[in-house]
Chains A and B, each alone.
Chain A
């Protein structure tokens, strides 16, 4: 054990002195969420403000119908209405972007409305500027509801006459369950992505890098057996992965606190991210980290150089990301099948824990299968590291 700790201590020191490690495993995970969230929310809020303040130019063709509706809508701020005589021209000008939207009344619109029929209108819009269309639709609905009210009054009724039911909707789900279902896949995904990236660099450096630098020979002639060397290095690989994932979580916390979020939602997030949840997540992630290390180390041991190991391991990232994304798919739940699929099981178990509907038997199966898988991958690493043809390749 003493020798293992000596090796682990030295490898930690060596890794933490590496600028690449500090940037990729600490700085990036710490800054990526605050930066992304800050930029995204800034862009989003500036865009929605711009959209709300944008003056929409709406062309219209009356075809001899009353302009009362148009006059009423013209009083709404940030709208300019321009009259056209020809629907075809209006269509063309909306298409070319000269007009934001177009509204052409049917020549029988007023009489149809008066007769209690549907008065028809044609709306011209561009799918690319759908937000403008949605904004205008809201205005039209307001206008239409006035017409409905007038109709009801004319027959001595109220709106309730055509809307005979009134439903009171009571949501019985715990808000946590909703968040767990729709956003619960996010947290384990973040953890897993950074765990993988965090394991990768040390796995390459401590094995392929050591071979490339020619330091492995000296280590192999020291009074320490290969199992001790492997365990010492593996501790560092997994710890660095967990460190990277933890730093990403801190980054996520910082970014959430930086956002101008609804206090109720913030409280809910704080309620979800309890120490118990984080602890459970770590319990699942530790064997997963060993599994990642156990997959990466044999590849790194096989590789002659840092570059060779990197070129083999980088595409593996995609293999990890795909199952990690299952958490985002609705309807995919932790069951007796998914509990045995590595990565998928951690994502779904975490999602279930966040939602508060986790089945402890399935969580136990997940944990046990991860432990078995970690043990298998450690065994493969041990076999590979024991082969002199690989270590001294």
Chain B
């Protein structure tokens, strides 16, 4: 369960950044009073154009950055008060997540399992489970730098799930990936729902959103424009297509 209440994130801009952004304001509000809830066993999609505030919101949820104001709870844990407790509940994956190129998949997984206090037995069991599921046995001892993009993404998926997180955060997880690799991610997201995990993912690919999500929020310029179920979204559509409706909502804002 993720609960976000009155979330704000402001960044200080230096003069150069002000010039680049064409503003004289010294503060840039990336997230502006955002509230929503993501429930277990459901996939929540955060949809918005580039620079809308999706990544900033997900980074706050995953404790990478702190909100300027507002509250985030992960499985009932206040992330501001107990960030490490909250982190144990979170798995985080993006399409551009890096891996340690000089280590092997085995070593990377062990590292993150140790950081997450995963017992040896659980680590071995989950590792085996994902190695079999994603057909990873043949490259588990190769250095990551020698692996293909698809293989690396399989390692990233296993790394995300090695501590069996209750909440999984995907920030544009298929961005820049080929169709086959992206399909692995889509399967992972579906599996998470089946395992009653809370899933939040950001995207600007509407077909992906249509395919996967149960609940939807649309964000632009840091503000939440829409927050309801996917079915409710479909029912209230004024445009003929999802893309058309998305553009209409964003343009009206």
Residue ranges of A at the interface with B (Cβ–Cβ < 8 Å): 3, 6-7, 10, 13-14, 17-18, 213-215, 217-218, 220-225, 388-389, 392
Chain B residues, CB < 8 A from A392: 59, 64-65
Nearest-Cβ distance from residue A381 to partner chain B, whole angstroms: 19
Q: Are B115 and A17 in contact (CB under 8 A)?
A: no
Out of B66, B83, B114, B169, name the residue touching A225 (CB < 8 Å): B83
Chain A residues, CB < 8 A from B87: 221-224
CA distance A388 to B87 in the complex (A): 17
User: Which chain B residue lies CB-closest to A226?
Assistant: B83
Nearest-Cβ distance from residue A339 to partner chain B, whole angstroms: 40
Q: Are B94 and A217 in contact (CB under 8 A)?
A: yes
User: Which chain A residue lies CB-closest to B83?
Assistant: A225
Identify which of B45-53, B97-105, B189-197, B213-221 touches chain A: B97-105
Q: Are B64 and A6 in contact (CB under 8 A)?
A: no
Say whether B203 faces chain A, with CB atoms less than 8 Å apart. Answer: no
Q: A223-B84, A224-B84, A392-B65 are in contact. Are A217 and B111 (CB under 8 A)?
A: no
Q: Are B11 and A223 in contact (CB under 8 A)?
A: no
Say whether B88 faces chain A, with CB atoms less than 8 Å apart. Answer: yes
Q: A13-B103, A223-B117, A392-B59 are in contact. Are A218 and B97 (CB under 8 A)?
A: yes
Nearest-Cβ distance from residue A332 to partner chain B, whole angstroms: 42
Out of B63, B85, B102, B112, name the residue touching A218 (CB < 8 Å): B112
- Interface size of B by Cβ–Cβ distance < 8 Å? 34
CA distance A7 to B103 in the complex (A): 13
Q: Are B114 and A6 in contact (CB under 8 A)?
A: yes
Q: Which of B11, B102, B143 has the most CB of A within 10 A?
A: B102
User: 1/0 per residue B180-193: CB within 8 Å of A?
Assistant: 00000000000000
Chain A residues, CB < 8 A from B116: 222-223
Which residues of chain B (199-219) have a CB below 8 Å from chain A? none
Q: Are B99 and A217 in contact (CB under 8 A)?
A: no
16 CB < 8 A contacts A-B:
A6-B114, A10-B100, A10-B103, A13-B107, A14-B103, A213-B99, A214-B98, A217-B59, A220-B64, A221-B64, A221-B92, A223-B84, A223-B85, A225-B84, A389-B11, A392-B59
Q: Are A224 and B115 in contact (CB under 8 A)?
A: yes
Say whether B96 faces chain A, with CB atoms less than 8 Å apart. Answer: yes
CA distance A389 to B12 in the complex (A): 9
Chain A residues, CB < 8 A from B63: 220-221
Q: Which of A18, A217, A222, A388 has the most CB of B within 10 A?
A: A222
Chain A residues, CB < 8 A from B88: 223
